[in-house]
Amino acid sequence: MQYYSLQKQSPNVDFKTAAITGQAPDKGLYFPSEIPQLTAATIQRFKTLSKGELAFEVMRPYVGDSIDDATLLQICTETINFNFPLVPITENIMSLELFHGPTLAFKDVGARFMSRCLGYFSKGTNQTSTVLVATSGDTGGAVANGFLGVEGVNVIILYPKGKVSPIQELQLTTCGQNITALEVEGTFDDCQAIVKEAFMDVDLNKKYTLTSANSINVARWLPQQLYYFFAWQHWVANYGDDVPMNIVVPSGNFGNICAGMMAKASGLPLGHFIAACNANDVVTRYLATKKYEVRQSVATVSNAMDVGNPSNFVRIMEIMQSNFSALTNALTSYQVTDTDTKATIARVYKTFNYLLDPHGAVAFVAAEKYLATRPDARAIILETAHPVKFPEVVEEAIGEQLPIPASVQFLLDKQKVAIPLAPSYTAFKAWMMQ
């Protein structure tokens, strides 16, 4: 498999090069030269495969010859070594819980896959890779956990000061070893802009072998397809092949929903996609007006979605061949306010005894809006993070204190270690060059 830049000004590369470099020299995102196509017989066989076998078969065409089959199977099996339950909430809305991994967030899948790939690529070399990652919440913790102690890889995480939850901040600032956290006096968009500019900086690239662990990196982005396949396995076992599985994704940088749309483009029989957005609704407005107007991101209670300029939307346009009509047939988007988000957490908990995190609540509202005129349809929402990661919002909504899961209890006794940084590339480069 080869990967080309969406700017079309750089040479094609293999999976290894795309994963190590993160972004093409022309600043474009990498995209596979072809989307693997699944036959009807393959789809039928996928219904009964184990998660590890299914993950291997999905990822193998994208990885190509960059990793041998035995190693790739091991990487895939380790990546998805936790549960992905599909839990009913109402008669027509189910929750795909993606928070059962080590950092209680869906980004564990991509981070675990990518870290193991880079660890494999660094074996037998004297070269150290430096992973740069901007986070609006969960990415930082997942990347820190996935890469902690991986030989030949150092990780630098940039996060916006005061705009991540307490547990999220502890997850990315208490690791030590090969993980460094930079606390940026700005927004996620500032962090992301710094990371993107670093890849184009000649001086930094002479000193470091840089790569990104954000979803701009194909090794982070593409494995997110896997839980759509797992959800589909559950779905057809419960409802058969004739009931469409519509999918509502809380969307910020649009890597997650883009991965799902890739799975559908490869032939997985999924239903309609709904992008659930908070006040940062550039895509919602684009689908309504055909005008793509980037705005400065604003802070919300669903902080992981606070992205004003989503990087991965360009990949969605590539999947849709830049056809606006095809896009609107495949994707719907709704904007959900903080007020509705908090009220929905309370309502769903009281009525259905199901606890949503703020991002899942945004998705639930969008699901209700989509299904309002489709009484016979069903949908799944992606619950992308455990509610305990957002205690202030959730506890206020339900009037109860949340128990802390054992998997993060140990963090409460740790001290945050982060380096303050001005929200400018000049400040970042000066720190890196010291």
Active site residues: 107
For residue 281, count CB atoms less than 10 angstroms from its CB and return exposed for 0-12, middle for 13-18, buried for 19 or more.
Answer: buried
Tokens matching residue 39: 């036959």
Phi-psi region of 42 (alpha: psi -120 to 50; beta: other; left: phi over 0): alpha
Virtual CA dihedral for 304, 310, 311, 317, nearest 10 degrees? 130
Nearest to 420 by CA among 71, 76, 185: 185
3-state secondary structure 344-360: HHHHHHHHHCCCCCHHH
Q: Please tell me the distance from the alpha carbon of residue 46 to that of residue 212, in angstroms, as a whole number.
A: 31
Tokens matching residue 198: 């670093």
CB 159 within 8 A of CB 172: yes
CB 250 within 8 A of CB 359: yes
Residue 157, SS3? strand
CA distances from 22 to 16, 149, 219, 221, 304 (A): 10, 21, 8, 11, 21
Q: Please tell me the distance from the alpha carbon of residue 230 to that of residue 48, in angstroms, as a whole number.
A: 10
